[in-house]
Every structure is written in structure tokens, then in C-alpha cells.
């Protein structure tokens, strides 16, 4: 594979009066994945999208533009991303890791490294792949190189991983609205640490809580006032940043927990960082019983019945147990079956992941009627195929097929079903437009999500949570945990806890 070194000597940048020329070099890399250890489906090499070299520079991401504008030499290695899913194959991880390490060796001495991570990566047969990766990076670059990393707040960042970092920060919103901003913060702090010669200290404290994202939304009580404090903490004298990790609870691993990190600019402010971390942890712990769903929830049939009784023109229902954005297969047809058997009218199911049904409809063509066996192929633990007669109504436009995100729309009775040939969820309005649909023209729209993603959250007149079975079950106490640390709340509801931070 060809790896190239890109200097940012673009004329426009060099001629800019704000560009600095301090000769800094920053190498970049990343493996972003949220790995659901309950899922039976491995995430393989082919499931990843990979950016290298010039593709990274051309991606226009704010963190990249910032480095370019600052006149810093960027050496992008490999940035890999896959949709949340089962544990990552050893082959995929080793392939990515060796390419990153090779890029680092070839680059020679660099001042800084930016790691663009999710934080919930788990790899077959590797206890803590993220720690393994950063340790191998350190083995090459030593401790003079400053390493900064950004994360999704649903990451499970272990002590072994974090202790190798000089700086880390995480999203402050769930549903996520600040991904680009967070990455930019990680990179700006990296540059600041290098230019000011800072020696940061990271205060960290675990909070033994296993909570799904749906019960830890940052826009509502009890977490929104706690998250709101992070901005002012970041601007406290001597403090560079603070992060609250909700963690990723569908990972049966010792590192699955909530966690707070506060980065002090130097050892003089380490105690302050520890105090802040303990205060945040204490307040989160005290709020644990208030971390509940912010919408009405219940079994599938009661949620369908409820939706049709509501005055709102459109009601969104989350099929939460089979949420592909949290790593589930997305092919459990249980809600489709309930909609059809309940004789529902004007309902849209968006969407079911089923490549075979998708292909059968493409072959049959628009207007064809056929009997389809839907779903239950991947998730054969909780899902069973549902057989029904459908009419092929529409296909998304050619470009969506070319980009591998084609959609087929079929109809059975009053229920429209969007079929996907690969794992995805409807998270944006444009996906409905791809299939020429206005979600607000339906009475009920079912999505394979837990919480609604920002665009849909802002659009939906009403939202209900169907507590469906699946690898993303929202009831933590029903999951077969074996490896998480005990005690953990809510598995051990009467446990005691007092935050005791320490410092890397
Ligand atoms: Zn997340």
C-alpha cells in the first residue's frame, strides 16, 4: 500500500498571515468501532471504510483544516471506521494496526500523534485492543511524542489505554451533535501542548454504572446540567479539558463503566483536576436512579396501540432491541410482524436489513408481487423469519445503489417496509427522501434505533420506545453479563460507591 507524506505547504496556507511555521509534525490514525460483545456477528475487514493519506487531507474535517491552517505538517496513516456491530475480527484489527505502525515507522520522528477513536473497540482474542494499539505506538515513538485522542462518549477507555495518552476528550452530546467539534478540541489541545511545552496530567475516576445510551441522553435530566458544567471546567485556570464517558454497556468487559477524565495542564493542577473529577463522579452516581428513558416505553403491541391513539399526525417508534447503531444485526422482523398482524394502516417500517429479500425484490422489479421471507437470518437468537406477501413499490435512486446504500420499498396491506441490503439505520431525513418518502405522511414510523438521532429527534412530533428483544436490550439486568466488574449498578442495586480519582 502506498503511503505518502503530505506537507501542508499549500501556497494559500503559507501566504496566510495566521499560519505559523514552527515546523511541527502531527501523525494521525484511528480505528473507530463500537463493538457489541453480545452480538453473534463478527465485524470483518470488509465492514470497514478506510481513509488513507490524501483522502484524509481532502476530507475537509475541521481538525484537519485546523492543522493545515496552522501550517503544521500532517502525516495521515490509516483511519478506519465501521458501523457498530459485533466484535472486530483479529484479521481486521491486525491489518489496520500493522499499517498504522508501518506508517509511524516510516514517518520517523513526529512531534504529535492524533488518534481518532470511538473508544468501544473490542477485538476477538485481544483483551484490550485499544491499549494494545497505543502501547505498540509508544514502543516506536517513545514518550517524547505527545499523543492526543478523541472519543465518542460511549467509549470504554481503560486505564491501560488512557495512561499512554497525554490528552483525551469525548463528545459532550448524546444524541451526538458535536463529533467534529470534539475532534477539533483534541487536535487544538495537541498543538497547544506542543507549542507551550505542557506536561499534562490526567485525573480519572470510574463510576461503576452500566447504562444504555437511551437512559443517558445529555439533553435531558439528570445528565444535562452535569454535562453543561464541562464547558466552564474546560476554561478553569490550569485545566485543559474534562470528559464524562457514559460508556458502552453492551460490552461484557471489565472496562465497561461510566468514567470521568479531567486533564490538567501540568502536575501543579493535578489535584484540582482530581477534585473536579470526583465531584462530577459523585453527582453522576447520585443521579443513577434518575437515568431512565425520556420517552414512554413498553412492549411492541402496546406501543403500536398507543401510537394510533395519540393525537400527533406522526408517531415514531424505536425498535430498540435490534438497534443497528448500537451494534445489533437489524434483521429482526418482530415489529413488522406485529404491525401486519395488527392490521395497521399508514405505517412505515424503516428499515429491515435483509440482503436476500432486497435482491429478490430487485430481480422481481417494480410493481411485482411476491412472497418474501423477511429477516431472522443474522439475528437467529432473538429473530425468526416472517413470511408475507408484498408488492414491490419503489427503489431508491441509482446513486444510492452506486454508493452501496440502496433501498427497496415494499408494501403489505397498510404497512410499507424499507429493505436494506447492508446494516444501516434510518438516522437522517435524506434517507427517507432517497426512497421518495416524507416520514411525516405516515401515522407510524418504526426505526431500528434506540434514541432518535438529532435530525429525527428534531422532526418527530412524538416518540415511543418499543422494548423489543435483541442484542441491544435496554434492560441491563436481563443481559448475560459475566466479565463486567462487580459490583456494578444496576446489577448490584444496593452497592456502595465513593469516587476516588487518581492521576496518570
Ligand atoms: Zn455514541
**Tell me: the pLDDT tens digits for 475-501?**
888 889 999 999 999 999 999 999 999
Contact 312/444 with Cβ under 8 angstroms?
Answer: no
Based on the domain organization, do 68 and 180 belong to the same domain?
A: yes
Query: For the chain, what percentages of helix, strand and coil (3-state, to nearest 5) are there?
Result: 35, 25, 40
pLDDT at 21: 61
Q: In what order do the strands lie in the sheet with 239-245?
A: 239-245, 258-264, 201-207, 502-503
pLDDT at 13 over 60: no
In a domain, 396, yes or no: yes
Based on the domain organization, do 245 and 310 belong to the same domain?
A: no
**How far apart, in whole angstroms, are the C-alpha atoms of residue 451 and residue 318?**
7
Torsion angle defined by CA atoms of residues 22, 28, 34 and 39, in that order, rounded to the nearest 10 degrees: -170
First-residue to last-residue Cα distance in the chain = 36
Based on the domain organization, do 338 and 204 belong to the same domain?
A: no
Residue 173 C-alpha to ligand 1 middle, in angstroms?
Answer: 9
pLDDT at 60 over 80: yes
In a domain, 419, yes or no: yes
Residue 154 C-alpha to ligand 1 middle, in angstroms?
Answer: 5
Based on the domain organization, do 177 and 317 belong to the same domain?
A: no
Based on the domain organization, do 332 and 401 belong to the same domain?
A: yes
Based on the domain organization, do 245 and 368 belong to the same domain?
A: no
Based on the domain organization, do 224 and 310 belong to the same domain?
A: no
Based on the domain organization, do 36 and 121 belong to the same domain?
A: yes
Residue 152 C-alpha to ligand 1 middle, in angstroms?
Answer: 5
Based on the domain organization, do 276 and 331 belong to the same domain?
A: no
| Domain hosting residue 452, numbered range | 296-473
**How far apart, in whole angstroms, are the C-alpha atoms of residue 356 and residue 71?**
50
**How far apart, in whole angstroms, are the C-alpha atoms of residue 449 and residue 465?**
9
**How far apart, in whole angstroms, are the C-alpha atoms of residue 79 and residue 203?**
28
In a domain, 5, yes or no: no
Query: Which among 263, 290, 317 is the end of a domain?
Result: 290
Residue 188 C-alpha to ligand 1 middle, in angstroms?
Answer: 22
Residue 11 C-alpha to ligand 1 middle, in angstroms?
Answer: 38
Residue 217 C-alpha to ligand 1 middle, in angstroms?
Answer: 10
Residue 175 C-alpha to ligand 1 middle, in angstroms?
Answer: 7
| DSSP code for 351 | E
pLDDT at 381 over 90: no
In a domain, 192, yes or no: yes
Residue 397 C-alpha to ligand 1 middle, in angstroms?
Answer: 29
Residue 247 C-alpha to ligand 1 middle, in angstroms?
Answer: 9
Q: Which helix (H) or strand (E) segment is 227 a member of?
A: helix 223-234
Residue 31 C-alpha to ligand 1 middle, in angstroms?
Answer: 15
pLDDT digits (tens, 9 = 90+) for 217-237: 999 999 999 999 999 999 999
Q: How many domains does the chain have?
A: 2
Query: Which among 290, 311, 346 is the end of a domain?
Result: 290
Based on the domain organization, do 317 and 253 belong to the same domain?
A: no
Based on the domain organization, do 353 and 240 belong to the same domain?
A: no
Contact 336/383 with Cβ under 8 angstroms?
Answer: no
Alpha helices in 334-460 (DSSP H): 334-341, 355-364, 398-402, 429-434, 454-459
Residue 41 C-alpha to ligand 1 middle, in angstroms?
Answer: 20
Give percent of the chain with pLDDT exceeding 70: 96
The model carries a pTM of 0.89
Residue 373 C-alpha to ligand 1 middle, in angstroms?
Answer: 32
pLDDT at 4 over 90: no
Residue 256 C-alpha to ligand 1 middle, in angstroms?
Answer: 14
In a domain, 494, yes or no: no
What's the CATH code of the domain at 55? 3.40.50.2300
Query: Which among 233, 260, 290 is the end of a domain?
Result: 290
In a domain, 116, yes or no: yes
In a domain, 484, yes or no: no
In a domain, 499, yes or no: no
**How far apart, in whole angstroms, are the C-alpha atoms of residue 150 and residue 167?**
9
Averaged pLDDT, 11-26: 58
pLDDT band at 3 (very low <50, low <70, confident <90, very high): very low
Q: Which helix (H) or strand (E) segment is 417 a member of?
A: strand 415-420
pLDDT at 72 over 90: yes
Based on the domain organization, do 25 and 55 belong to the same domain?
A: yes
**How far apart, in whole angstroms, are the C-alpha atoms of residue 248 and residue 327?**
11
Averaged pLDDT, 180-184: 98
**How far apart, in whole angstroms, are the C-alpha atoms of residue 205 and residue 243?**
11
Amino acid at each position: 500500500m502506498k503511503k505518502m507524506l503530505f506537507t501542508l505547504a499549500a501556497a494559500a496556507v503559507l501566504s496566510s498571515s495566521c499560519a505559523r511555521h514552527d515546523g511541527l509534525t502531527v501523525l494521525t490514525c484511528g480505528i473507530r468501532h463500537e463493538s457489541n460483545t453480545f452480538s453473534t456477528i463478527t465485524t470483518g475487514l470488509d465492514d470497514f471504510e478506510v481513509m488513507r493519506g490524501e483522502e484524509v487531507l481532502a476530507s475537509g474535517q475541521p481538525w484537519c483544516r485546523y492543522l493545515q491552517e496552522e501550517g503544521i505538517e500532517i502525516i495521515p496513516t490509516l483511519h478506519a471506521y465501521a458501523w457498530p456491530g459485533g466484535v472486530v475480527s483479529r484479521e481486521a484489527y491486525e491489518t489496520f494496526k500493522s499499517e498504522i505502525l508501518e506508517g509511524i515507522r516510516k514517518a520517523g520522528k513526529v512531534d504529535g500523534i492524533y488518534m481518532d477513536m470511538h473508544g468501544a473497540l473490542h477485538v476477538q482474542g485481544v483483551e484490550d485492543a485499544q491499549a494494545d494499539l497505543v502501547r505498540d505506538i509508544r514502543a516506536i515513538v517513545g514518550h517524547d511524542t505527545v499523543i492526543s485522542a478523541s472519543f465518542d462518549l460511549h467509549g470504554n477507555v481503560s486505564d491501560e489505554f488512557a495512561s499512554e495518552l497525554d490528552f483525551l476528550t469525548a463528545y459532550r452530546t448524546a444524541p451526538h451533535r458535536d463529533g467534529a467539534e470534539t475532534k477539533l478540541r483534541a487536535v487544538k489541545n495537541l498543538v497547544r501542548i506542543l507549542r507551550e511545552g505542557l506536561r499534562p496530567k490526567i485525573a480519572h475516576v470510574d463510576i461503576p454504572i452500566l447504562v444504555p445510551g437511551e437512559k443517558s441522553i445529555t439533553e435531558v435530566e439528570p445528565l444535562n446540567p452535569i454535562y453543561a458544567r464541562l464547558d466552564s471546567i474546560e476554561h478553569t485556570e490550569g485545566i485543559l479539558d474534562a470528559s464524562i464517558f457514559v460508556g458502552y454497556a453492551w460490552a461484557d468487559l471489565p472496562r465497561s463503566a461510566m468514567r470521568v477524565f479531567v486533564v490538567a495542564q501540568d502536575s501543579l493542577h493535578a489535584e484540582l483536576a482530581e477534585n473536579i473529577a470526583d465531584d462530577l463522579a459523585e453527582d453522576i452516581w447520585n443521579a443513577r436512579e434518575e437515568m431512565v428513558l425520556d420517552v414512554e416505553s413498553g412492549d411492541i403491541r402496546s406501543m403500536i396501540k398507543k401510537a394510533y391513539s395519540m393525537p400527533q399526525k406522526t408517531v415514531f417508534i424505536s425498535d430498540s432491541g435490534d438497534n443497528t447503531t448500537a451494534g445489533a444485526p437489524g434483521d429482526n422482523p418482530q415489529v413488522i410482524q406485529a404491525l401486519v398482524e395488527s392490521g395497521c394502516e399508514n405505517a412505515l417500517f424503516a428499515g429491515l436489513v435483509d440482503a436476500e429479500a432486497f435482491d429478490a425484490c430487485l430481480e422481481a422489479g417494480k410493481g411485482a408481487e411476491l412472497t418474501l421471507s423477511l429477516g431472522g437470518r443474522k439475528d437467529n437468537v432473538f429473530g425468526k423469519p416472517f413470511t408475507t406477501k408484498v408488492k414491490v413499490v419503489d427503489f431508491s435512486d441509482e446513486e444510492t445503489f452506486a454508493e452501496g446504500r440502496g433501498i427497496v420499498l415494499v408494501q403489505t396491506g397498510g404497512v410499507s417496509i424499507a429493505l436494506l441490503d447492508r446494516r444501516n439505520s434510518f438516522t437522517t431525513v435524506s434517507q427517507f427522501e432517497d426512497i421518495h418518502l416524507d416520514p411525516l405522511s405516515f401515522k407510524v414510523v418504526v426505526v431500528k434505533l434506540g434514541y432518535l438521532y438529532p435530525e429525527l429527534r428534531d422532526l418527530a412530533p412524538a416518540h415511543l420506545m418499543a422494548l423489543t428483544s435483541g442484542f441491544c436490550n435496554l434492560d441491563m439486568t436481563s443481559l448475560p453479563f459475566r466479565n463486567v466488574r462487580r459490583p456494578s449498578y444496576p446489577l448490584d442495586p444496593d452497592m456502595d460507591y465513593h469516587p476516588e480519582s487518581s492521576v496518570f
